[in-house]
Chain A
Amino acid sequence: MMEIEKDMEVEGSHILTRQKTPESEKILDYDYKKCAGCSICVELCPKKALQEGPLLEIAKGLDAPPVLIDLDACVFCGMCVNFCPLKALQMTVLEKRPVTEAAGKAAAQI
């Protein structure tokens, strides 16, 4: 089965979540300073990988992300990215090999 590696790091206000497979690298970039805590993403995440943070405290001035990401649960489907009204979530996909070429090779092998 395909190996999937995941990690997470924080750069300033950006929480970078990464998924690496032999084919691609997907980076989910969550800039929590842009996030207004509307929780649309929490509602629609099909894997329930997103969770509301301490919204009340944040409203009172706590410096914390309004949405928490569960690294194990997230499958990098990108649905949250597509629906975020403030573009606080962004996804970058790095293809290691161009898909078309790979498909062509596979077809040639058959």
Chain B
Amino acid sequence: MPIGVYVCHCGLNIAGVLNIEELKSFAEKLPDVAVARDLQFSCSDTGQEQIQKDITELKLDRIVVAACSPRLHEPTFRRAITKAGLNPYMLEMANIREQCSWVHMDQPAMATEKAKDLIAMAVAKAALLRPLEPESIPVSKDVLVIGGGVAGITSALDLADAGLHVYLVERRPTIGGYMALLTDVFPTNDCSICVLGPKMSEVFNHPNITLYTYAEVLGVEGSVGNFSVSGVRRARYVDPLLCKGCINECAGVCPVEVPSEYDFGIGKRKAIYVPYPQAVPLAACVDPKACIGCARCVEACPTKAVKLEQEPEDFKINVGAIIVATGWQPFDASRKEEYGFGRYRDVITTLQMERMQNASGPTKGEVVRPSSGQIAQSIAFLQCVGSRDATVGNIYCSRICCMASLKNAQLVKEKYPETDITIYYIDIRACGEGYEEFYVRAQRLGINFVRARISRIDQVDGEIFLVYEDTQSSEIKRVKHDMAVLSIGLEPDQNADVLGNLLGLSRRPDRFFEIAHPKMRPVEAHIDGVFIAGCASGPKEIPISIAQGSAAAAKAIKLLHKGVLELEPTSAYVNQDLCVKCKLCKDVCPKKAISVKSPAYVDEAACKGCGSCAAACPVDAINMRLFSDEQIMAQVTAATAVKREFPLIVAFLCNWCSYGAADLAGTSRIQYPTNARNIRVMCSARVDPSFVLEALRMGADGVLIAGCRLGECHYHNGNYQALQRVNVLKGVLEKIGLDPGRVKIVWCAASEGEIFAKDLRDFIFELKAIGPIGTELKNKDNERGKVGKKEIDAGTREEAGTVIEAKAENVAGTTGREPAP
């Protein structure tokens, strides 16, 4: 089996730290290696062509590329060797950039030694690679869109037009989101509902869209291609098929009036209501919190559509992809107590201003002082209320508020030219097509701009006064206005928390949903088959939300249009002759992919390849296609074959979080010591106790296992299983006289490179205190006074080895028995 090894310079990224020549000559001497070369940029066309040429000319059948992280370029090299006629899975990568040269920049000699081990490990694993064929599974071509705002509507329409069936689930009784409530929108000042309304009715009438309004998603199971989603459609107490939306008949006799949430408190609605005249579906809805049950509406309805006995209905759907377009919620202005919102009637928010200017709003388009009902003569706009403000925990810019205030100011000025309007701002952020011109237009209209952050608003005798420092004249001022409009920022919708947890979406520090890559993958979530569009991933203007809605739809179409999905052949398989039907594997499987009738059987389409079953099997009857027992053992052996430094750590990193964290430490150039030899596994639960014992037997001073943070496992609870196994293993180590501190399990998210580095530093510190492997046994022997003349180190290591071997089988059988809580 001729193996080709390619050591990449990556410009100076690797060659600047590591001695490439030394690595190349080291690799040449490794078993089975037919050729070792160094390449300037192995991922470049030239690099790939060299590899392909060698495969053809030297009849190589396995390739090792020592370069960057496999998470970056494994697909590239797999494609390259496939073109040369090799099976794509005959490739192994040694990560000597992110996890070596970038993190050990100040210790090039030790880094080169580490790189040798990493290459030796990769070659050892490569020798055991087997050709694999990717699995294809049929997928559902239906898509679930959650959230019926402008982003969700765009996604739904694009998908439906492309021929996919869409389920659009909206929490409120109508779709349209916040955009439907706005008056004219920037930068063209065209009417919001006039452009959105037709789209809303298109959604309602589209044959490919099933619309669930007043509904919520309560459960998501399955994975990409085959999500099974359950939810509930809350009772509207009105049959939407019978309701004609005339609303005056029922709401006219309804005796209960409450503030309308669609007017943000400045308008009123009845207990039976239609959110706004353009609502879709145009059907009334009874607010169960307000209704007193007098049943007048039941009698008044000419079509008898009101059904007070209606019950919530459950729904269950199967979809191939999910688009999360859950949007935002306005910042609660009363949290800025100094502005008196909620106490002073003439202090209102942007959204209330929008409703006032809306022709179908509570004031029929008039901008009036709420305290007097008179047309406002002087209006102040206060920017950055709840944005760029660490005191309320929102340090981000909400992006739309500057433009919204410019727009509202222009609209007021056009309607009432005599009105005195001042915008108080920190910075005006008008960056977008036509936005700066819009700003200039506002200045020309005679709108005043004052650079100040208002410190407080006072109310004296019913008049409001703004107190601020004008930062251009450095004067403290106190100015009277009829009305103050707070430009409130955008916050992540709290109602989406449940959904985020169901789907396992992660959040950025600003609490919006995190996308898979801040630049390159703007609408993808970390979870396969889940996409995020619109303000769910951060504040956005309408055009960008629409662009993201379309982008998410395109991604979903790309994923599902073939109707089949190619899966990595990562699954587990059972050696049926060895199986003893103990059912441990069935209990630990997070995907319920294993059935044990006669011998155990793995459903390979359902299996996601975490490998927990393989670790749990007491007789090693289960193995994995990728990351097989033999391959990992070969890596452990290669890592410990030459002990190049103390303490020598064998580290098992889960593919999703901790390996990502180690890569991130590299990308962020976080420096840490060279002691760890990292082995990538799919999940921390894959780590069979026998791997750990083998590593210690071979002379590693410590074993580190790193998984996703507890509760964030990509396989549901794999890290809990790993934790439990490690705890049992520590007991075993203690029994055989080794320090249980030699095995450590840590948690880090993919964004926590710094934490990974810190955990590693801590572990090295602890191991230095414990001493080289076998120290404990040596001390014990010293106590007993049994130490002979033979060489101590070798003796203790041998002893440790035999003891470990004897115990190894017991451990495999006893660990991972119970699934974690």
Contact = CB atoms under 8 A, between A and B. Distances in A.
Nearest to B250: A2
A77 interface: yes
Contact of A102 (B249, B293, B304): B304
B546 to A, nearest CB: 36
B252 A75 contact: no
Contacts of B252: 1-2
B300 interface: yes
B256 A24 contact: no
Interface in B273-324: 292-296, 298-300, 302-304
A4 B242 contact: no
Contacts of B292: 46-47, 75, 77, 79
B253 A1 contact: yes
B248 A1 contact: yes
Contacts of B242: 106-107, 110
- Using C-beta atoms within 8 Å of the partner chain, give the interface range for chain A: 20 to 34
Interface SS majority for chain A: loop
A2 B249 contact: yes
B296 A107 contact: no
B255 interface: yes
A21 interface: yes
B296 A99 contact: no
A75 B294 contact: yes
B303 A2 contact: no
Interface string A32-69: 00000000000000110000000000000000000000
Contact of B296 (A4, A79, A102, A106): A4
Nearest to B301: A106
B281 to A, nearest CB: 15
Nearest to A49: B255
Given A75-B292, A77-B294, A79-B292, A23 B303 contact: no
A2 B304 contact: no
Contacts of B256: 46
Contacts of B249: 1-2
Interface string A67-100: 0000000011111000000000000000000010
Given A2-B299, A21-B296, A75 B255 contact: yes
A83 to B, nearest CB: 13
A24 B299 contact: yes
Nearest to B303: A106
B136 to A, nearest CB: 48
A77 B293 contact: yes
Contact of B304 (A4, A76, A106): A106
A21 B299 contact: yes
Nearest to A73: B255
Contacts of A46: 255-256, 292
A2 B255 contact: no
Residue in A21, A22, A75, A79 whose Cβ sees the most chain B Cβ within 10 Å: A75
A110 B305 CA distance: 12
A2 B294 contact: no
Contacts of A75: 255, 292, 294, 296
A68 to B, nearest CB: 19
Contacts of B300: 1-2, 21
Nearest to A2: B300
A106 B303 CA distance: 5
A17 to B, nearest CB: 14
A21 B295 CA distance: 12
A102 to B, nearest CB: 6
Nearest to A77: B294
Given A2-B253, A75-B294, A78-B294, A107 B299 contact: no
B294 A107 contact: no
A66 B675 CA distance: 88
Contacts of A79: 292-293
Contacts of A103: 304
Contacts of B293: 77-79
A4 B253 contact: yes
A102 B242 CA distance: 13
Contacts of A110: 242, 303
A84 B92 CA distance: 80
B531 to A, nearest CB: 39
A98 to B, nearest CB: 11
Interface string B400-412: 0000000000000
A84 B242 CA distance: 36
B239 to A, nearest CB: 9
A50 to B, nearest CB: 13
Given A46-B292, A103-B304, A23 B248 contact: no
A4 B299 CA distance: 11
Contacts of B255: 46-47, 75, 77
A76 to B, nearest CB: 6
A35 to B, nearest CB: 22
A99 B303 CA distance: 11
A75 B297 CA distance: 11
A2 B253 CA distance: 7
A51 to B, nearest CB: 17
Interface string B248-265: 110011011000000000
B310 to A, nearest CB: 13
Nearest to B297: A2
B271 to A, nearest CB: 10
A101 B500 CA distance: 46
B700 to A, nearest CB: 74
A22 B173 CA distance: 30
A10 B707 CA distance: 79
Contact of B303 (A4, A21, A24, A107): A107
A13 B248 CA distance: 39
A98 B98 CA distance: 77
Nearest to A100: B304
Nearest to A104: B304
Interface string B227-254: 0000000000000001000001100110
B802 to A, nearest CB: 81
18 contacts: A1-B253, A1-B300, A4-B253, A21-B300, A23-B299, A24-B299, A46-B256, A47-B292, A75-B292, A75-B294, A75-B296, A77-B255, A77-B292, A106-B242, A106-B303, A106-B304, A107-B303, A110-B242
Q: Which 9 residue pairs across A and B have the least CB separation, nearest first? A: A77-B294, A103-B304, A23-B299, A2-B300, A75-B255, A46-B292, A1-B252, A75-B294, A77-B292
Given A2-B252, A2-B253, A75-B296, 7 more contacts: A1-B249, A1-B252, A21-B299, A99-B298, A102-B304, A106-B304, A107-B242
